Amino acid sequence: MDCQDSFSVSYSVLIFPLRTSPFLLCHISNPHAKHENDVIYPTNFRETHRSDTALNRGGERIHFHGLDRSDYFFLSDTIIRVEAAHGGKHSILITTEGAVEVMATITALEKKNSRLFLRCHQSYLVNPQYIRNIRRFKVTLTDGTELPIPEKKYTAFRNKAIELQTVINTKGI
């Protein structure tokens, strides 16, 4: 086996007391010559900063309290949708960079941020900027997620989404 075919894999299962499911942490490394700038790890590296992309985006900063007692600050443009969790006692923010569970209920988030999110279902809020299409009793987001719309609320949701899209397009938000 030559150097290109060899690699090592190490993994750990981490269980946090506040999480309901374990995380699998996996590290795969290929042997490389030591990089001259790297004094700790004998591998090549490339620096990437995901937070730099957030600086180029618009929207307002929104503050959330996480279940891990952390304070999270997200730009409204980076939040794709919000899901109810734990019987509605908490919410899960689905963002462009991953998911975060926060202590606020979905109803509280809707009241606090009514101009930023639309409620398509009792368990979901969506950011209108991420709506790809709306069809009979379903909304499809740009990430491919399909969410239900109750039959009785379909027309009101559709009209509000069209209204907000018009506002977004005219203001250039």
How much is the pLDDT for 139?
A: 96
**CB 133, CB 140: distance < 8 Å:** yes
* Total domains in the fold of the chain: 1
Residue type, 97: E
pTM: 0.64
Assess if residue 96 is contained within a domain: yes
Q: What pairs with residue 10 in β-bridges?
A: 27
Question: What is the residue range of 75's domain?
Answer: 59-171
Looking up residue 131, the CATH number of its domain turns out to be: 2.40.50.1020
State how beta strands 124-126 and 131-135 pair. unpaired
Dihedral sign, CA of 146, 50, 77, 112?
A: positive
Q: Does the pLDDT of residue 21 top 90, yes or no?
A: no
Tokens of 10: 């190490």
Assess if residue 98 is contained within a domain: yes
DSSP annotation string for 19-74: -SS-EEEEEEE---PPPTT-SS-SS------THHHHHT--S-EEEEEBTTS-EEEE
Please report, rounded to a whole number, the percentage of residues in the chain having pLDDT higher than 70: 65
Assess if residue 163 is contained within a domain: yes
Confidence tier at 166 by pLDDT (50, 70, 90) = confident
